[in-house]
Structure 1
Amino acid sequence: MDHKEKKVKLAVNGGISFGAKLNAKQLTVIAEYMNDGDELELTTFQQLYIEVLETKVELVKEKFKEVGLSCYPVGNYVKSLRTCNFCKGEEEEGMPVAIELNKRIARKEVPFTLRPAYTGCPVGCGEPLVNDIGVMKVRDGYDLYIGGKAKGKDAKTGTLLMEQLTPEQLYDAVEKIITIYAEQGKKREPFFKFINRYGLENIKESIA
């Protein structure tokens, strides 16, 4: 093997579900594309980072897909949706909505890494209030928060932007917000800084 060949970093998870889980078959397939001494990086966003040879990226993605693994680009993109770690009850907690939302927004290119999170009830195990975009299922609707920040001395919870949305209203609002950020955000401008500069009211008006 040519050790000088360029490698590409992929973000991998076991798909959108309650908890960050991988099964034995998925772990075995991941291991097939690692050499002795290679390491997996476990992120705080329920993803594993693995480096693969650039010439094998598409093959690896296909092999991972066959066992239910999802691959995402690393860098200034919308991350895969972070979800609750402990709850179960797929229909009751709105997991089909989380899966669809992730399908619509993950991998989109943005000025700076954007972290969306989802939780199926007000307990908030998915930590939606301290991520860039947060969704919380409350009774039969979905509450949307934006602008949370989990790190630093200026850490803060997000602002409640819209309440009791239907799934379609939720998808539409989140997609519009990400489009505004992608088009109006400055290069490497974190989402919370973009909101402060662009204005929360302007965002509300743009997605109304």
Structure 2
Amino acid sequence: MKKLAVHPGISFGAKFTKGQLQILSKYVADSTEIELTNFQQLYIEVEDDQVEDVSAKLEAAGLNTYPVGLYVKTLRTCNFCQGAEEEGMDIAIELNRRIAGKSVPFPLRPAYTGCPNACGEPLVHDIGVVKIGETFSIYLGGKAKGLDAKMATLYKENLTEDDLYHACESVIENYEKHGKKREHFSKFLKRFGVENL
């Protein structure tokens, strides 16, 4: 059996439709428990030889599927309370498409919020993006759990949409290339140095 992460996609909150849940239930045994993660994903178990087929059927129903383990998690987002266009939902969707599921030394948790209220909690995640007006700021190294919990620090600000994508992808590429196995992102930043990203 292999675990598969299922996500409803970036929208106004993490919402599954009844139809999506009905389709999902076809691929989960009655005795199987479904785990709900804090990254708005459901973990299901699928037979190894059925992963591709089940993924394709779930994605046809509008669900996103990702591998479970040492990968970039789906982008945690705010609820876009001021509207999809104003808060940049299309940008969050594209950023998620570019980074979610990439292999990394330790699970990487990114977050996006569409305004300075920061409801998506970007300052306590590994990579946090905040949209301010028409530009974006990136924060790195937040950690929500543990006795060493800390706020992220500002990495770049006043970025355009393209600059945002490039900067996030570059940070993840450096982490994947230079991070040690099972090295948490905040420890990697301290060892590698933000200036070397």
TM-score by length of 1: 0.92
Separation of aligned partners in 2, 1:128 and 1:138: 13
Match of 2:107 in 1: 113
- Structure 2 residues without counterparts, runs of 5 or longer: none
Q: How does 1:169-208 map to 2 (within 5 A)?
A: 169-203=163-197
Match of 1:23 in 2: 17
- From 123, 132, 137, the counterpart of 2:126: 132
Residue 88 of structure 1: how far off its partner (Å): 5.0
Match of 1:14 in 2: 8
Asked if 1:101 corresponds to 2:91, the answer is no
The alignment-based identity, stated in percent, is 60
- From 43, 53, 66, the counterpart of 1:49: 43
Q: Deviations over 1:29-85 (max 9, x none)?
A: 010111222111000111000001112111111110111000000010111111114
Q: Whose Rg is larger?
A: 1
Say which SS state the counterpart of residue 91 (structure 1) adopts.
Answer: helix
Q: Is residue 80–residue 89 contact of structure 2 (8 Å, CA) maintained in 1?
A: no
Match of 2:74 in 1: 80
Separation of aligned partners in 2, 1:56 and 1:109: 21
Q: Which runs of 4+ in 1 moved over 4 A?
A: none
Separation of aligned partners in 2, 1:186 and 1:59: 33
Separation of aligned partners in 1, 2:100 and 2:122: 16
Separation of aligned partners in 1, 2:171 and 2:49: 35
Residue 87 of structure 1: how far off its partner (Å): 2.1
Separation of aligned partners in 1, 2:137 and 2:184: 22
Say which SS state the counterpart of residue 62 (structure 1) adopts.
Answer: helix
The amino acid across from 1:50 in the alignment is: I
Q: Is residue 18–residue 88 contact of structure 1 (8 Å, CA) maintained in 2?
A: no
Separation of aligned partners in 2, 1:126 and 1:82: 6
- From 131, 150, 153, the counterpart of 1:156: 150
- Structure 1 residues without counterparts, runs of 5 or longer: 1-6, 204-208
| Count of residues paired in the alignment | 197
Q: Deviations over 1:61-114 (max 9, x none)?
A: 111011100000001011111111462511111011111111111111111110
Separation of aligned partners in 1, 2:82 and 2:33: 31
